[in-house]
Chains A and B, each alone.
Chain A
C-alpha cells in the first residue's frame, strides 16, 4: 500500500508534457539583473559598487539578518547599476545590473563533472559552506537552507525528508534532475543527514514518476556499495495526490506525524528539503559552487513539443530572454506563471528576472485559466473534502467576508497552506482562497501581536 497524506487532497491532471526534454544550458544574455531578494526573509545588502569588476560566483550582496542569504554574481563583467527594478509582481526591488563580459569564475570552484562522494567530517564547516554559497530551499518558499539544517536547541531531527514529489502539474525540473543528477542528489542528502546528526533520510517520489524512482533507488544502492556515510537513505514511492509536496502533507505521508498548528516541522522531528536543494547543497559543499543556477521548465499545453524545454539557467536572466530563447511566447497564452499552476505566481512583468527559486515559465490559455463567474454557494462541501488541512473553506469564506476574526481563529484559518485545493474544486467558482488568504494574514498578525504582548 503506497503512502500518502491522510486528509483531503485533489487529483488534477498532471500534464507533465516536458518530462522527456533533457536539461539544456541556457546561453548567457548580454546583461543580467540580479535581485537582492531571492530568499525568504530580509533582502540582502549589496556589497559591490557601480563600475566594479565581478567574476562568476563572487558575493555581490550579504545577508541582512538571521533569516537572509548571500547573493552571488551569476556572470562575470562590470556592475552597471544598482537600483530599483520591477520584480514579476511589478513591485520595486533592488537589482544589481551586470554587463556580461566573458565567463570567468572565482578561484576554488570545481567546474568538473567528477562525482565527489567523500563527505567532509566537520559539520560546522559544511553549514558554513552552505550559508556562504547562499543555498536556499528550492521547493518554493526559498527559506535559507542552513537555518533549517540547524535545529533549535532541545530539538532533534528524526528524519530528513527529501521532497521529490513534484505534485504540481506541468513542472518537470525536479523530475529531470532526479534522472540526470541522481547521484549528486543522494550525496547532498547524505551531507544534510550527517549535519542533522545521522537521522535516516527518505526520498519521497510520487508514483507517476517511475523512471525517477528507479534512477534514485539505483543511485542510493550504488553509493551505499561504494562509499561511506550513505546508510539509512531510502526511496519511498508515494501515491499521486496534490499537495503531496506540501511540507506538512509530506511529513504526514512519510512519517505519519502531524505538525501542530503554528508549529514547525522540527517539532515532530522532521526536516524537509527539496531534491533541488539537495543538489545545491552537493554543489556548495563538494564543489564550492554557489547557488547561481537552477533548472526551470518551459511548458504549456499551447506550446508545441519542440518548444518544451528544461533549462539550466543562471539567476538574473530576464524572463523575456528565457522565453525568447525557448522560441517565443505562444500566441494563445493568456497567462504566464512562474511556478506550478496551483501555487505559482502569475507574471505581471515579463521583464522580471530569474531568481534562485524560479522553477518554470508555464503558459496557460484563457480557456484553461480564466475563472468562471462566481455563483451562489450550494453547500456541497467539496472545498472541505479537498482541504488537506481539514479546514472548512466555505465557512472561513463567510466569516472572512463578515470580518469575524475570533471565529476565523477558532476555525483555524491560520493553518491554511494556500495550496488552492478549495478554489480548484469549488463548483460555484467562489474565490475562496483569495479571501481566506487575506483573513489568514490578518489573523496571524493578531496572534503575533498577542504573543508579543504577553
Chain B
C-alpha cells in the first residue's frame, strides 16, 4: 500500500519535472520576438476590439501604431478618441495631430408618416437580405429599410430603432464614430460627420436620387434636388448632384439659411439652442431625441 503511494508520487513528480523542462525548451525555442512597446500601447487602448480603426482588434491596432510610428497620421482609435491617441503617442514618444471628433448621422427622415408603406416585408428581418431582394416597403428605393442592421452592428449600444418613426436613432454620447453602422447599412444612409461646434450640425437628412416629383411622391420629407439651399448658402458648402443636395461639413458655418429655405424640410439642424419656437423645427423632430443631452450613467 505504502509503496504504491510512494511510487505514484515519485512517478508523477518525475513526469511533472520532465514535462516542465520540455515546455521551457519549447517556449524558448519558439519564442516570438515582439516589440515590447506593442504591449504598452495595447494597455492604454480602450480594449473594445471593435475594429473601428480598420484593424482586426486592439492588439492589431497597437502593432499597427508601433509599425507606423513616428508618423501616426493613419492611426486613429475612434473609441479612445483624441485623448486616447495622445496616450498612445506619449507611450511611443511621438506627436499626433488632434482630429475633429465625429459622430454617426442617419440621413433619412422617411418616417411612417412622411413615407407611407406601399407593401409589407415578410422575410428575414435584415436590411441586407431585404436590400438584396427589392427596393423596400415604401415608394423610396433609397431610404432606410428599418430592419436594424446598424443597431446589431453597434458594439456600444449607441443606435436604437425608434418604434414610432421606424428609423434608427443615434445616441451621440455613446457613439464613438467607429463606423461599424456605416459599413452595415446596405443603403449607405449613415455617414460619419464632424461633431461640430458645441455638437451643432446641419445636414441633409435624405439620400434619395430620384427626380423631384418621384421623390416627393414617395416621401414628404425627401430632398427634391431643387437647389434652393445651394443658392442661399454663403459658404459654397452645398452641392446638388443627381437630384440630391449634400452639405460639406468642413465648409458649413452653421448659419442655418438653408434650413429655412428647404421646401420639404429635408435639411436638419440639430443641437442648436432653442431661441424662439419655430414652426419649421417640426420636421427635425425625429432627430430631437438624439439632440437632448444624455446623462452619462457612470
Q: Decide if A91 touches B134 in the complex (CB within 8 Å).
A: yes
A446 at the interface (CB under 8 A from B): no
Chain A residues near B172 (CB-CB < 8 A): none
A371 vs B125: C-alpha distance in the bound complex, in angstroms?
12
Instruction: Indicate if B136 sits at the interface (CB-CB under 8 A).
Output: yes
Nearest CB in chain A: distance from B121 CB, A? 9
Are A431 and B134 touching (Cβ within 8 A)? no
Question: Chain B, 124-141, contact with A by CB distance < 8 Å: what is the 0/1 string?
Answer: 101011001111110101
How many angstroms between the C-alpha atoms of A433 and B261 in the bound complex?
A: 47
Contact A348 B132 (CB under 8 A): no
In the assembled complex, which residues on chain B have CB atoms less than 8 Å from the CB atom of A441? Answer: 132
Contact of A89 with B133 in the complex, beta carbons under 8 Å = yes
A156 within 8 Å of B (CB atoms)? no
Q: Is the CB of B135 within 8 A of A89?
A: yes
Contact A437 B134 (CB under 8 A): no
B122 touching A371, Cβ below 8 Å:
yes
Would A90 and B134 count as touching, CB distance under 8 A? yes
Q: Which residue of A lies closest to B142 (CB)?
A: A92
Cβ–Cβ < 8 Å partners of A92 in chain B: 141, 210
The answer to the question of B123 belonging to the interface, with a C-beta cut-off of 8 Å to chain A, is yes
Please, which residues of chain A bring their CB within 8 A of the CB of B8?
none
Task: Kindly state whether residue A179 has any CB partner on chain B within 8 Å.
Answer: no
Tell me, in angstroms, the Cα distance from A434 to B210 when the chains sit together: 28
Q: Is A435 an interface residue (CB 8 A)?
A: yes
In the assembled complex, A370 has its CB within 8 A of some CB on chain B? yes
Specify which chain B residues have a CB less than 8 angstroms from the CB of A346 in the assembled complex.
Answer: 133-134
How many B residues are at the interface, by size bracket?
Answer: 10 to 19
**B129 lies within 8 A of A348 (CB):** no
Question: Chain A residues near B126 (CB, 8 Å)?
Answer: 434-435, 438
Q: Is A80 an interface residue (CB 8 A)?
A: no
Does A86 sit at the interface, judged by CB under 8 A?
A: yes
A371 to chain B: which residues have CB within 8 Å?
Answer: 122-123
Contacts of A369 in B (CB 8 A): 122
State how many angstroms separate the Cβ of B128 from the closest Cβ of chain A: 6
Minimum CB–CB distance from A338 to chain B (whole Å) comes to: 12
Other-chain residue from B124, B128, B134, B210 in contact with A348 (beta carbon distance below 8 A): B134
Contact A438 B136 (CB under 8 A): no
User: What size tier do the contact residues of chain A reach?
Assistant: 10 to 19
In the complex, the answer to whether A90 meets B124 with C-beta atoms within 8 Å is: no
Q: Taking CB as reference atom, which chain B residue is nearest A441?
A: B132
B181–chain A nearest beta-carbon distance, Å: 16
User: In the complex, what residues of A have CB within 8 A of residue B3's CB?
Assistant: none
Q: In the complex, are the beta carbons of A86 and B128 less than 8 A apart?
A: no
Residue of B nearest to A437 (CB): B132
A348–B122 CB distance below 8 A = no
| Chain A min CB distance to B8 (Å) | 43
B132 pairs with A91, CB closer than 8 A: no
Q: How far is the CB of B7 from the nearest CB of chain A, in Å?
A: 47
Q: Which residues of A have CB within 8 Å of B135? A: 86, 89-91, 348
B136: A residues at CB distance < 8 A = 90
Residues of B within 8 A of A348 (CB): 118-119, 134-135, 137
Q: Is the interface of B mostly helix, strand, loop or mixed?
A: loop
Is the Cβ of A89 less than 8 Å from the Cβ of B134?
yes
Across the interface, B123 reaches (CB within 8 A) one of A89, A91, A434, namely: A434
Bound form: Cα–Cα A193–B210 in Å = 47
Residue among A349, A370, A434 making CB contact with B124, cutoff 8 Å: A434
Residues 89 to 142 of chain B near chain A (Cβ within 8 Å)? 118-119, 122-124, 126, 128-129, 132-137, 139, 141
Inter-chain contact A370/B122, CB cutoff 8 Å: yes
A240–B18 alpha-carbon span in the complex (Å): 67
B144 → chain A closest CB, angstroms: 15
Bound Cα distance A335, B136 (Å):
15
Return chain A residues, CB-CB under 8 Å to B141: 86, 90-92
Give the distance to chain B from A261, nearest Cβ to Cβ, in Å: 22
Identify which of residues 22-39 in chain B touch chain A, using a CB-to-CB cut-off of 8 Å: none
Complex: A335 Cα to B122 Cα, angstroms: 10
Knowing A91-B141, A371-B122, say if A435 contacts B134 (CB, 8 Å): no
Bound-state Cα–Cα, A368 to B133, Å: 20
Cβ–Cβ contact A431 & B124, under 8 A: yes
Q: Quick one: closest B residue to A371, CB to CB?
A: B122
For A434, what are the chain B residues with a Cβ–Cβ distance below 8 Å? 123-124, 126, 129
Whether A435 pairs with B210 at a CB distance below 8 angstroms is no
- CB distance A438 to B132 under 8 Å? yes
Closest CB in chain B relative to A398 CB, distance in Å: 15
A435 touches B122 (CB 8 A): no
A437–chain B nearest beta-carbon distance, Å: 7
Residue among B119, B124, B132 with the most chain A CB within 10 A?
A: B124
How far does the alpha carbon of A371 sit from the alpha carbon of B120 in the complex, in Å? 13
Query: A92–B210 Cα gap in the complex (Å)?
Result: 9
From B119, B126, B136, B210, name the one whose CB has the most chain A CB atoms within 10 angstroms: B119
Residues of A within 8 A of B (CB): 84, 86, 89-92, 335, 346, 348-349, 369-371, 431, 434-435, 437-438, 441
26 contacts between A and B (CB under 8 A): A86-B135, A86-B141, A89-B133, A89-B134, A89-B135, A90-B135, A90-B136, A91-B135, A91-B141, A92-B141, A92-B210, A335-B122, A346-B133, A346-B134, A348-B119, A348-B134, A370-B122, A371-B122, A431-B123, A431-B124, A434-B129, A437-B129, A438-B128, A438-B129, A438-B132, A441-B132
Top 8 A-B pairs ranked by shortest CB distance? A90-B135, A89-B134, A431-B124, A434-B124, A434-B129, A348-B134, A91-B135, A348-B119
